[in-house]
Structure 1
Amino acid sequence: MYRPVGNSEMTRGLSLWLDVLRVAATLIVVLSHLAYPRFTGTSYAYLRDWNVGSDAVIVFFVISGLVIAYAADRDGAGSRFVFNRATRLFSVMVPALVLTLAFDAYGYGIDPEAYPVPFYQSHPTGEFLLRGLTFSNEWSTLGRLRLGTNGPLWSLSYEAAYYILFGFAIFTKGLSRVAILIVVIAVAGLNIMLLMPAWLMGVGLWKWVKSGGPANAARWVGWLLVLLGPACYLAGHLLGVPELLVDATAQAFGVSDARWALGFSDEFLWNFLIGIFTAMFVVGIAVLDPKNMPGHRQVRWLAGASFSVYVTHYPALHLLDATVADVVGRDLILLFGSLAIGIVFARYFERPIGQFREWLAGPKMVQRLKGSRATH
């Protein structure tokens, strides 16, 4: 059995600021998608030029690696880890896929022009659900597949692979562990693996926090890193680093556009740097460990719906685009309408995770299996 060592608790300050990052990254993704010209013209083209939505996903990956490593310590056993991760994913993913099918069908029936290729791809329902529920829609050897309009689900395909690899690496041993890891890596493919370093940075962050690293660092170091992480990210964009790196990647693969070869991993070099900048910020927060923040209750509440907003906002945007006429305030209707749909969705599918686990396994089994208060 995996036996965690050291302090397996997360401080209130670090937990709260992880929620801040989660909420901020979710809003950035939504705004980035709203900025597509087919939704809002060229009014917010700078968001598309900077590709901030994809950058925000890497922030999610770092947070995810940290939280999953924390959860593994709290779970302490493979059965608990699998139960908690699976229920967390499927309690949201199953209804999100159903919602995507329903929204796409209804919106397409109203205005097919609001569903252009490649932003919308229609598939047989069985194939759609199979690939969505196995999180294999971006696994290279199985063929990449866009799930209707719900393009953001690409990142869950990546994360699911990381959960599987991490779980087997931590809770199994011997030759069977090596064999399973090789098979999963081979099936998931190169694209998935290229972004895993950012996720592993999160794992490393938790190991450092658990070992007492923040207590051994001076507060001035914390302030320096909190300021330096975002500053490095901003400087990278101002200097055109992402463009330079993606062009170099395309040349290395002998293609005109790296996206054709690597899919959503086309900026993996820049994404690696974003992982470092995010880790710098989180290290700084862990050192400073702020105890209070104005509006912390609201932040916690919004963070409790961030997963739902992420998996529902894009089909919601397409549906609203198809149904809302070109009226004053249309951009705000699309933005707050898609956010509202995600928040309502969270009320019924994300927030009641405890009740869902009890219904699925029974109260006594949940007490034995749950073993972790982590919500990721």
Structure 2
Amino acid sequence: MTPGFSLWLDLLRAGAALTVLLGHMAHLRFTRGDYYVLREWNVASDAVIVFFVLSGLVIAAAAARDGSLGRFAFKRVTRIYGVLIPALLLTVVFDALGRWVDPAAYQAPFFEPVSGADMLLRGLTVTSEWQGLWPRLRLGSNGPLWSLSYEVAFYMLFATCVFLHGLVRVILVLLLGLLAGLPILALLPCWWLGVLVWWRMDQKAAPSLSMAWLCAIGGPVCALVLKISGLPDLLSQRTAEALAPFNHHLVLGYSDEALWSFVLASCIALHLWGVYGLASRRPSLEQTAHARAIRWIAGGSFSIYVVHYPSLHLLDAVLPNDLPGHDLWMFGLTLTICFAFARMFERPLAWQRGWLIGVWQRLSPGAAAAKLEME
């Protein structure tokens, strides 16, 4: 993966995280509907699909680099829990404080009170959307954690397919699919398109220059044209008809636009394939101030995603509605909280992993070899 292509992935990751934040901030309860066009365009949901395609590509590359199930699992678990555990604690604290200040700011369906036991069980197992286990559950005000429940299922299915073999692989794939449920499986193809892009990259089969430009530009343009043409609404209608008399929103949950999501993911995958072809012709990249800024924002994108919603709810409760520059204050303070959170929990990932390996090495007599395996 060339520095130029890696930087472009970071740019997309940073842009998707900020798009999710702006898309959620556009809710009526936060900004009175002044930016409701972002809700009408459903930009937050589309940005999550960008995340899924990027995730498939990056996780496939990580699996190829890790080479073993143990190393792969260790890195995925530490990446998720190093941010998720403090994010769950922050959600509990922010929700309690916000409800104490202004209970009216915490109304269904955007807030669901949960017990501490449910927050721990469903949050720490990252299974709030696994319909084969129990009913769906919103973790307080932190609705965006739904996609993390999807991501973990995708990781587990992918690792099972890549690192296991024979009957064990077949049984575990079927079991995981049953436990995850239909909504998660409905968006799995979007994630696997990212894996497909990596597979083509791993084959060292870059597209021709003309094809690379066509895919890099044509992918986003095609997605935009199809969006403007009303294809998402048409596909949603077809989904509703196919699942009638059942309500497709209830059946599929956050995957109720699965058909449009796959179309969008296909456009994103084509775009990434094209950008890879262009970047492979320019392997070097200067470390400009712009590049460093992009990487810095992308380095906090996970924190933006898992912290922004409880932050918006708290700020909605405590900020006066007539505060001059109310929306700028809300946006700026939310980003400040997210980046402060990232500084404490997301960016020190290498240190966290080293500390865990050191503890394991001291506790386990045979951990010296394991240390080499995990690094």
- Report the TM range for the smaller structure's normalisation: over 0.9
Q: Which position in structure 1 is the counterpart of 2:152?
A: 160
Quickly say closer, same or farther: Cα 1:255–1:307, change in 2 above 3 A. Answer: farther
Q: Which position in structure 2 is the counterpart of 1:236?
A: 226
TM-score, normalising length from structure 2? 0.93
* Correspondence 1:208 to 2:200: yes
245-254 vs 255-264, which moves further: 255-264
Contact 1:100 1:312 in 2 (8 A): yes
Contact 2:70 2:374 in 1 (8 A): no
- C-alpha deviation, 1:282, in angstroms: 0.3
Q: Which position in structure 1 is the counterpart of 2:316?
A: 321
Among 175, 190, 195, the alignment partner of 1:183 is: 175
- Cα deviation code 1:3-62 (max 9, x no counterpart): xxxxxxx11111110001100100110000000011001211110001010000000000
345-354 vs 217-226, which moves further: 217-226
Q: Which position in structure 1 is the counterpart of 2:184?
A: 192
Percent identical pairs in the alignment equals 47
- C-alpha deviation, 1:366, in angstroms: 7.3
Moved segments of 4+, more than 3 Å:
290-294, 363-367
Among 339, 359, 374, the alignment partner of 1:370 is: 374
TM-score, normalising length from structure 1? 0.93
Among 299, 317, 329, the alignment partner of 1:333 is: 329
Q: For structure 2, list consecutive stretches of 5 or more residues without a partner in the other structure.
A: 362-367
Whole-angstrom CA distance in 2 between matches of 1:147 and 1:30: 18
Q: Which position in structure 1 is the counterpart of 2:115?
A: 124
Q: Which position in structure 2 is the counterpart of 1:374?
A: none
Quickly say closer, same or farther: Cα 1:365–1:308, change in 2 above 3 A. Answer: farther
Secondary structure of 1:140's match? Answer: coil
- C-alpha deviation, 1:256, in angstroms: 7.8
* Correspondence 1:344 to 2:354: no
- C-alpha deviation, 1:367, in angstroms: 4.8
- C-alpha deviation, 1:222, in angstroms: 1.3
- C-alpha deviation, 1:92, in angstroms: 0.4
Instruction: Give, as a single letter, the amino acid of the residue that structure 1 aligns with 2:240.
Output: A
Whole-angstrom CA distance in 2 between matches of 1:236 and 1:46: 17
Whole-angstrom CA distance in 1 between matches of 2:370 and 2:346: 17
- Cα deviation code 1:169-228 (max 9, x no counterpart): 1111111111111111000001000000010011111111011021xx221211111111
* Correspondence 1:300 to 2:295: yes
Q: Which position in structure 1 is the counterpart of 2:217?
A: 227
* Correspondence 1:46 to 2:62: no
Whole-angstrom CA distance in 1 between matches of 2:151 and 2:103: 32
Secondary structure of 1:246's match? Answer: helix
Among 55, 58, 71, the alignment partner of 2:49 is: 58
Q: For structure 1, list consecutive stretches of 5 or more residues without a partner in the other structure.
A: 1-9, 372-376
Instruction: Give, as a single letter, the amino acid of the residue that structure 1 aligns with 2:153.
Output: A
Q: Which position in structure 1 is the counterpart of 2:101?
A: 110
* Correspondence 1:139 to 2:135: no
Q: CA RMSD in A?
A: 1.4
Instruction: Give, as a single letter, the amino acid of the residue that structure 1 aligns with 2:372.
Output: R
Whole-angstrom CA distance in 2 between matches of 1:257 and 1:236: 25
Instruction: Give, as a single letter, the amino acid of the residue that structure 2 aligns with 1:135.
Output: V
Q: Which position in structure 2 is the counterpart of 1:357?
A: 353
Among 16, 20, 23, the alignment partner of 2:7 is: 16
- C-alpha deviation, 1:168, in angstroms: 1.2
